[in-house]
Amino acid sequence: MERRPLRGGRLKAAGYDAREQRLEIDFVDGERRIFEAVPPEVWRRLLAAPNPASFYADRIEEEYAVTRARTEGRDDARSRLDSLFGPDPGKTDA
């Protein structure tokens, strides 16, 4: 499943499986919410929305069955800051 970055609010990225009609939304805190039976039009409208966070809150959050999970990777303060602002340009991984 290809993920697309999302900007605004707590949203980080989203992916959609058209065959299964499954929408996955990743949040900056590392949480992933998986929504079932989401029509393709909702996915298209989420990507086209001027404010994806508002579209999510208004049209997705309480409209579809959801499962909560964790995204892969670290779950610490540095990871959350990096996902919001990008990695520290002065930091090296030596």
Give the residue numbers spanning the domain of 11: 3-78
Average pLDDT, the chain: 87
pTM: 0.74
Closest CA to 30 of 10, 60, 5: 10
Between vectors from CA 74 to CA 38 and to CA 33, what angle results, nearest 5°?
15
Residue 41 resides in a domain: yes
Produce one character per residue of 4-25: b if its CB has 16 or more CB atoms within 10 Å, e if not.
eebeeeebbbbbbeeeebbbbb
What pLDDT, on the 0 to 100 scale, is given for residue 8? 81
Looking at the domain assignment, is residue 7 inside a domain? yes
CB 25 within 8 A of CB 38: no
pLDDT at 55: 97
Give the Cα separation of 94 and 33 in Å (integer): 34
Does 85 map to a domain?
Answer: no
Q: Is residue 31 in some structural domain?
A: yes
User: What band does 78 get if pLDDT is binned at 50, 70 and 90?
Assistant: low
Query: What is the per-residue pLDDT across 12-56, written as a single tens digit (0 to 9) for each?
Result: 999 999 999 999 999 999 999 999 999 999 999 999 999 999 999
The answer to whether position 23 is within a domain reads yes
Tally of structural domains, the chain = 1
